[in-house]
A and B are shown apart, each in its own frame.
Chain A
């Protein structure tokens, strides 16, 4: 979360008031969070509705559902987890993770090529 707080100060609740950000500063953040929340709800309903539409090929249904899920995932990671405006080091950690995650997913694709012919039946 990119919004850094000022230096810490000792003391009780009165001091807390000084230490924390002014409410006005955060009101636009709150509006953004609510917008993301509504978008996530809408995305969920669209995902369910799309699953009832016969696109003619199951692979298309899978693609549509995963595309919407990726959009929702971007909203959660980008805005709720503040990845959209994070520090460089966090991006570095995530880049390493993404590299190995993609590698892991491709392992299944590569192993698929290793099956004997006609054992695996792809979806039609």
Chain B
């Protein structure tokens, strides 16, 4: 195939790299800074939070672990797809990258489930100053259900921070902010019903809820966008883009390598996101 630009396929003699490889690494460098800025923000928000108010255990660890395994598995299928191209095994490439796409969709599906869980988790500040916290008994696609019907039923518990200080306040805070603590685990949930007149304000565990949910949705949302973008690129190379294998196999293999580098970076980011958001 005639090359329009030099070094599309062939590496330069001096650097030993073809154009796309330099391009993707420069792009990944900028991506490191993008996520770095958000990680930096996370540290600042966390360190600046008064003691006892930073949530622990708000995210489901088994689900997060499963999603981590899904992403790690997609990384091995990606590198195996590239290796298959290098070994001239196009059929195996197709199989491995089909797995990558399915795993990417699985990851996004699980993440959507987790997001939905947060958007149906309500925190009600009651007129008497107590806080009722829990999930909607009847889940509705209308997240503003309570405002429209005038009442709300949640499966949860009540905490009261009023007139509490020191050790007593810390124990009460753990009942809602540190689900993994003995106090948090000891909480018993029951069905609670409130009329609109009893509710001073309410909101879900959406990004606006507090700084933790804000940074959680920002970090994982941006990461999920990367997963979706990577899946689209890999999907294209797996489908219509794979025609290039017949005409220019080397260039096609390079494309698989470059898209794979992006995918591994997405995996790399999650390796740090998982402990930071789910475990610590």
Contact = CB atoms under 8 A, between A and B. Distances in A.
Do A and B share a complex?
Answer: yes
Interface of A: 1, 3-5, 7-8, 10, 12-13, 15-17, 19-23, 26, 29-30, 33-34, 36-37, 40-41, 44-45, 47-48, 51, 58, 61-62, 65-66, 68-69, 72-73, 76-77, 80-81, 87-90, 93-94, 96-97, 100-101, 104-105, 107-108, 111-112, 115, 120-124
Contacts of A51: 61, 275, 279-280
Nearest to B88: A20
A87 B15 CA distance: 7
Contact of B15 (A3, A66, A89, A101): A89
The 7 closest A-B pairs by CB, nearest first: A20-B88, A16-B249, A51-B279, A65-B275, A97-B29, A37-B76, A121-B51
A102 B246 CA distance: 44
Contacts of A97: 28-29, 32-33
B183 interface: no
Nearest to A12: B246
A47 B33 contact: no
Contacts of B26: 93
B210 interface: no
Nearest to B73: A37
Contact of B83 (A22, A29, A76, A100): A29
A69 B75 contact: no
Interface centre among A1, A89, A111 (most CB of B within 10 A): A1
Interface in B1-31: 1, 9-11, 15-17, 21-22, 25-26, 28-29
A80 B29 CA distance: 17
Contacts of A108: 40, 43-44, 47
Contacts of B47: 108, 112, 120, 122
